[in-house]
Amino acid sequence: MPISTDKQVIELKKDASSYLKLGDFSKAQKSIKKALELKPNSNNLVHELAKINLKSKNFHLSLELLLGLEDRVTKKDILYKDIGLSYFGLGKLEKALYFSHKSLEVDSKYIEALVLKGKTLRELENYDEAMATFDKVISKSSNHRDALYQKGKINHILGKYRESLDLFDKVLAITPRDIEVLQAKGLSHDELNEYREASDAINKSKTVEDEVIYNDRGVALTRLGYNHKAIDSYRRALSSNPKYAVCWFNLGKALFRVGDLKEALKAFKQSTELNPKNRSAWNNRGVTLRQLNKLEESLDCYDRAIALKKSYSWAWHNKGYVLELLDRPRESLVCYEEALKHKPSSEEHGGDEWDKLKKDTNKAIIRINKIIGE
């Protein structure tokens, strides 16, 4: 069956997002341009192309594309914010401030427009209003990295180095390996003649590995089919933060895809030990155990996943399959029937995945009914 145009476009957008995470702007652009060949009148795809140019610092082209959308879209808050970011990148600060205001006229609570406004005011040396804007962001999102960092930078400019350090430490409490913040912290310590602390912060910024970046790179590489490179990226993330549960989970999935089941199982075990509430990790741990022919152990994992979410269709299906392998057909049938009762949300599993699960489960039910003679 040929793939529909909409599905091709969705896949191309996902490819573009993955290339963006890897910093490969050229391939990200190619993916969106291919999608535009399929849907040439898509405002959304033109906006996506503009955002890629914005991230690659091609501000002129980004601006040209975004301005061309102004009369073509109805909800303009994101559009105006991105136009403002393009002007900010070009150093046209008054224009950037104007479009941040236009974005906020559409949605006064739009955090990223407030951040743009604050950064622009900071560059215009309107420090009081910039601080008030960042305070507004923090009132809505207390741990907003950019707002805390920008407030710290302003305090540094104003000579309030101790206040700036307090703000930088708040960011580092959330993301301990934030290189930009570590460098800024070093400069503030230096101004206070705290040379050892300054040296420690600067040196750490030069040697640290950002686990979030390497985890995200791993996800992007996996999406593009580069599983071995993804594994290397996940391992780099974990070398910085061995307690990064999501990264252990992602590593397990990549190892499973390349057939390294024993290492995959170790990764899933680490993930579930660090975060016992990750039902997907329990389910994947169960699948890996099944592949290793440890059927009874896998059942326990599916039960743990189902205990976390009663409507977890995939765990019900997988439990049914293992019970079938253990020659327990009636129990298996109950699980398969339960799997079909719970359609997941589109955010959790796409329609294609659900369709495949339903097809496989219905086949299994027919198979089981033949075995038990019903």
* Three state DSSP letters for 246-282: HHHHHHHHHHHHCCCHHHHHHHHHHHHHHCCCCHHHH
How far is it, in rounded angstroms, from Cα 321 to Cα 290?
10
Determine contact, residues 316/339, Cβ cutoff 8 Å.
yes
pLDDT of residue 188: 94
Higher pLDDT, 30 or 346: 30
Is the pLDDT confidence value at 349 over 60?
no
Task: Identify the residue with better confidence: 182 or 206.
Answer: 182
> Contact at 8 Å (CB) between 323 and 335?
yes
Contacts of 36 (CB under 8 A, 6+ apart): 42, 45, 46, 49
Provide, rounded to the nearest whole percent, the portion of the chain with pLDDT above 90.
Answer: 83
Give me the amino acid identity at 181: V
Q: Could you check whether 1-73 and 211-372 share the same CATH topology?
A: yes
pLDDT, position 347? 58
Query: So what's the pLDDT on residue 50?
Result: 97
Place of tokens 């224009």: 95
Domains of the chain: which residue ranges?
A: 1-73, 211-372
Of 16-20, 235-239, 297-301, 349-353, which range is least confident? 349-353
Higher confidence at residue 339 or residue 205?
Answer: 339
Q: Please compute the mean of the pLDDT values over residues 336-350 and round it to a whole number.
A: 78
| Helices 295-308 and 313-325, packing angle to 10 deg | 160
pLDDT digits (tens, 9 = 90+) for 105-157: 999 999 999 999 999 999 999 999 999 999 999 999 999 999 999 999 999 99
- pLDDT tens digits, one per residue of 226-255: 999 999 999 999 988 899 999 999 999 999
Mean pLDDT (the chain, rounded): 93
Beta strands of the chain (E only): which ranges?
none
Mean pLDDT of 82-109: 97
- Cα dihedral: 116, 119, 125, 129 (round 10): 70
Q: How far is CA 141 from the centre of its chain?
A: 18
Token duo for residue 244: 């990064």
Question: What are the C-alpha distances in Å from 50 to residues 24, 45, 157, 263?
Answer: 15, 9, 33, 41
Whole-number Å distance between alpha carbons of 4 and 191: 60
Rounded Cα distance, 264 and 163, in Å: 46
pLDDT band at 204 (very low <50, low <70, confident <90, very high): confident
d(CA 15, CA 7): 12
The whole-number pLDDT of residue 240 equals: 83
Q: Domain 211-372, what fold?
A: 1.25.40
Kindly state the helix (H) or strand (E) to which residue 146 belongs, with its residue range: helix 145-157
Q: Is the pLDDT of residue 1 over 50?
A: no
Q: Does residue 4 carry a pLDDT above 90?
A: no
Q: What single DSSP character describes residue 349? A: S
For the CA atoms of the chain, what is the radius of gyration?
A: 25
What pLDDT does 206 receive?
Answer: 75
Cα(272)–Cα(137) distance, rounded to whole angstroms? 34
Mean pLDDT of 272-298: 97
Q: Which amino acid is residue 62, in one-letter code?
A: S
109-118 pLDDT tens trace: 999 999 999 9
Mean pLDDT of 202-207: 77
Looking at the domain that runs over 1-73, which CATH code has it been given? 1.25.40.10
Section 19-45 average pLDDT: 94
Share of the chain above pLDDT 70, in %: 97
Residue 63 or residue 200, greater confidence: 63
Read off the pLDDT band of 350 (50, 70, 90): low
- CA angle 240–243–244, rounded 5-degree value: 75
In order, the DSSP letters of 36-79 are HHHSTT-HHHHHHHHHHHHHTT-HHHHHHHHHTTTTT-S--HHH
